[in-house]
Amino acid sequence: MDIDNIIRAFCNGKNEKQVEGCLKFLFDKIWNQYTDYLMDKVLIIENEMNKWAFNLPNAKEGYPYEQTCDIPQKLLTVPEAEIQIDNVAGLSPKQQGLSIIVADDKNSFTISGTPTLDVFRKDGATPESTFELTFSYSIVGMDIPEEKRHFERKIPFIINQDPRKLWKNLPVDWENMPEPKYRKEDTQCEYVKVEKSSDGTPQKDIVAASKRGRSHAQEGKPRDDHFRVEYMPNGWYIMAVADGAGSAKYSREGSHIACDTVVDHCKLSLINSVPFETAIEAFHLHEEENNSDARKVVGDYIYQIVGTAAFKAHKAIVAEATIRNLPVKQYATTLLLTICKHFSFGWFVASFWVGDGAICLYNRQAHTAKILGIPDEGEYAGQTRFLTMQEIFQDTKTFYQRLRFSIVDDFTALFLMSDGVSDPKFETDANLNNPDKWDALWDDLHDNGVELIDDNEEAKEQLLNWLDFWSAGNHDDRTIAILYGQEHDNTNNTANNMNIQPSDISDSSAASVEIVDTTNDSNDGNGQQME
């Protein structure tokens, strides 16, 4: 049957109006069904797009970010349809530091820039780190009305906050601190300039800095570390660094007393240093002969100067605790102490060390690092020994081992640092003996703006700023003192690093500097005296 016959059969007996009405009914019904069919497909497409994973990795605040996201060209459920991106909004360079660019072919978009959340930190507020992107797209390739082609989807985008900016820097409320207040600044820095010698040769200078740790700043607690550095007209350098115990209520004063006491004693002892220097020169002259008598004389002086300084610091802390009617352990502190002078044959360095941290003679040219002591380790991780502990001065053998001296041709730097610096930079005590680690520290200082050059008064501020370095999990107070300066190109840069042994102290010296226990348990058992 041909089409004409079909039409005649359909219209048989019907007038034109009836036929028109019937056709309109049929077309409307079919069109509505077709429209529903298309809308069903659109709904299927929208559901598929809502399930599609964009896989945008989190951005990290302060780190450059660039990520391109390609959308599917063909859908699994409706392959004849195509998706095109209209726009992606929700980030801006002014707010988050990020731009969103849609590709010309509308098949992908790129997020790029260096993310920041600073604009959301106004008035100390903690910023939100999750943002909602509006992903707008169109369906093409299908005969659907224009108004039905455009869709939106919300996409979460996360910027991980810079952990450094999560820390608060709360001031110490000194007015409401319990007595004794023992006020201390959050920072301390100093530069000691030593004038050139008479022939114009630059001399070594000292730079030191101390900064309240993030863990203390977060809680509005004071800095517990302290340092003191001095240069004497007769050429002696004196450096002291002390780290007050975080668990000790008044350790900030303990560290202060320790540094002031040891430096004052060393200064007084070294005013007339000629006999000591004569002994050092005699020892050096007979060093290869292993002359025990010459070594003993040097040991006597180190014991009387450095060892006595440490004990006087202990006594001074005990005295302060007694006056305040407080346990000595509340003033617990470590102590690193060095005295140093240049001779015609090289440098003489003597040291005392109790607690953690580090003292190191570092020579970059010779690629050597001599540690002038052994870090004290407690029974458990994070423990150490303190100047206030009874056994430090009661055990003669271990006390002598805390006294050391070295003679070296030259050195790049003499470092004293609290564990707030040594822990993040060296991680383990074993690494303290690795010259590569000290090379890395030296490079780190240089690369981050610390100019250890002659007569650089700005070095103290540069070093203070450097102490802001980030190290995850290491937020203790940080203190470092550096003696540095021009090096001579010597072929022999080995260090004779020597402990003071009981045999190195003469009987007469030991008799004049006797350690006795004169206190009872009411003073926490930490009251030995050196007469």
Give the DSSP letter string of 101-162: EE-TTSSEEEEEE----GGG-GGGPPPP-EEEEEEEEEEESS---GGGSEEEEEEEEEEE--
Core vs surface per residue 423-451: b (16+ CB within 10 A) or e: bbbbeebebbeebebbeebbeebeeeebe
510 or 211, greater pLDDT: 211
DSSP one-letter code for 428: S
pLDDT score at 508: 40
* Pairwise CA distance, residues 112 & 248, whole Å: 48
DSSP H helical ranges for 304-458: 308-324, 391-394, 396-401, 419-426, 435-447
Task: Dump pLDDT digits (tens) for 303-321.
Answer: 999 999 999 999 999 999 9
Q: How far is CA 385 from the centre of its chain?
A: 23
Question: The pTM is what?
Answer: 0.77
* Pairwise CA distance, residues 483 & 458, whole Å: 15
Statement: residue 220 has pLDDT above 80: yes
Statement: residue 466 has pLDDT above 90: yes
Look up residue 409 and give its two tokens. Answer: 């041709």
pLDDT score at 393: 87
**SS3 state of residue 94:** coil
pLDDT score at 444: 97
Contact 303, 513 (CB under 8 A): yes
Look up residue 78 and give its two tokens. Answer: 């409706």
pLDDT score at 9: 65
pLDDT score at 492: 46
pLDDT score at 516: 27
Ordered DSSP codes for 469-522 = ---TT--S-EEEEEEE------S----EEEEPPGGGS-HHHHHHS-EEE---GG
* Pairwise CA distance, residues 430 & 432, whole Å: 5
Look up residue 513 and give its two tokens. Answer: 């500097």
Statement: residue 514 has pLDDT above 90: no
pLDDT score at 493: 45
Look up residue 248 and give its two tokens. Answer: 């000790």
* Closest to 300 (Cα-Cα) out of 374, 402, 406, 400: 400
Look up residue 261 and give its two tokens. Answer: 């006491």
Angular region, 33: left φ>0, alpha ψ -120 to 50, beta rest: alpha
Angular region, 129: left φ>0, alpha ψ -120 to 50, beta rest: alpha
pLDDT score at 382: 56
Mean pLDDT for the chain?
A: 84
* Pairwise CA distance, residues 142 & 340, whole Å: 86
* Pairwise CA distance, residues 388 & 398, whole Å: 15
Look up residue 220 and give its two tokens. Answer: 């509005």
**SS3 state of residue 239:** strand
DSSP strand pairing (130-140 vs 150-160): antiparallel
Task: Delineate the domains of the chain, giving CATH numbers in brackets.
Answer: 50-165 (2.60.40), 182-195+208-356+371-411+465-530 (no CATH)
Q: Which of 62-66, 399-403, 436-440 has the lowest mean pLDDT?
A: 399-403
Q: Which residues, including other chains, have CB under 8 Å from residue 76's CB and lie 6 or more apart?
A: 48
Q: Which of 83-92, 144-153, 371-380, 517-526 has the lowest mean pLDDT?
A: 517-526
Task: Dump pLDDT digits (tens) for 271-315.
Answer: 999 999 999 999 998 777 667 888 899 999 999 999 999 999 999
* Pairwise CA distance, residues 238 & 336, whole Å: 11
* Pairwise CA distance, residues 15 & 22, whole Å: 11
* Pairwise CA distance, residues 375 & 419, whole Å: 10
- pLDDT band per the 50, 70, 90 thresholds, residue 41: low
DSSP one-letter code for 430: G
Task: Dump pLDDT digits (tens) for 80-135.
Answer: 677 788 899 999 999 999 999 999 998 899 999 999 999 888 776 778 889 999 99
Query: In sequence order, what are the beta bridge partners of 350?
Result: 339, 405
Task: Dump pLDDT digits (tens) for 414-451.
Answer: 999 999 999 999 999 999 999 999 999 999 999 999 99
Statement: residue 520 has pLDDT above 60: no
Statement: residue 327 has pLDDT above 80: yes
